[in-house]
Amino acid sequence: MSDEPLPSNDPWQALRRYTNARIALGRAGDGLPTAPLLAFQYDHARARDAVHLPFDAEGVAAAAGAAGLPVLIVHSAAPDRATYLKRPDLGRRLNDDSRVALSLHAPPDGEPYDAVLAIADGLSALAVHRHAAPLVIHIAEALQGLGWRLAPIVVVRQGRVAVADEIGSLLRARQAAILIGERPGLSVADSLGIYLTYDPRPGRTDAERNCISNIHAHGQSYAAATQTLIYLMSEARRLKLSGVALKDERAERDGPAALPA
């Protein structure tokens, strides 16, 4: 069966320049033409590779160390990738050795840290390898410029979003922000997300977190993501909350021109 070309007047075709979504692919009988079918299979393979790529925690920690903060490497309660994928609950908490190690780094003077920045492989180690270190340096420099007292940066193997709540609690940080590889899609396999919790502790719900997503080469820039996070963290400190009750109100307050490019 030969590929059937798209009709020249297909109204969807003009929209493809605005999105990576699979629209206006054409058809060959009841199926896809060969080229988009192969592209789909290729992108699916890239997404699977991103999930199973071994996490270079030491490399990420070494690069993140340029932020001028100590960097600690810990491990979730999921002992390996296969277990991590089958037991999301284990990825949300630390193993015993990591809990002990972090408790030794609580502030010695008893005064809580203003925030802790964590990095976890999540569902795309590829995203973390490409984006986490430069972004965490950007964020740490911005917060230190504002006079914030930061805990050591924590890199987590086999970690999910909620593990940051336990990290923040053990280090006695008032806020926890975790940079984590997002679930790969068929158009982007290296997208990074950031989740913020005020007063982090085990048992926090997703509704108590703010999310900044789609940080990658064709998505949000590091500068835009940093500005949004700094705004949310500043507001979280002022209002003493995060999650659904904490909104990004910059557009309403300052107008669209004030938003980062």
Q: How far apart are CA 24 and CA 60, in angstroms?
A: 39
Residue 23's pLDDT is what? Answer: 81
Q: How far apart are CA 11 and CA 114, in angstroms?
A: 52
pLDDT digits over 97-154, tens only?
999 999 999 998 889 999 999 999 999 999 999 999 999 999 999 999 999 999 999 9
Segment among 14-23, 35-44, 172-181 with least mean pLDDT: 14-23
Q: 10: burial class by Cβ within 10 Å (0-12, 13-18, 19+)?
A: middle
pLDDT digits over 85-112, tens only?
999 999 999 999 999 999 999 998 889 9
Residue 108's pLDDT is what? Answer: 83
Distance of CA 104 to the CA centre of its chain: 26
Strand pairing partners for 76?
94
Residue 159's pLDDT is what? Answer: 97
Q: How far apart are CA 113 and CA 163, in angstroms?
A: 18
Looking at residues 37-54, what average pLDDT do you find? 90
Residue 249's pLDDT is what? Answer: 85
pLDDT digits over 156-215, tens only?
999 999 999 999 999 999 999 999 999 998 878 899 999 999 999 999 999 999 999 999
Residue 25's pLDDT is what? Answer: 83
CB count within 10 Å of CB 89 equals 10
Sign for the CA dihedral angle at 257, 259, 260, 261 comes to negative
Strands 116-120 and 153-157: parallel
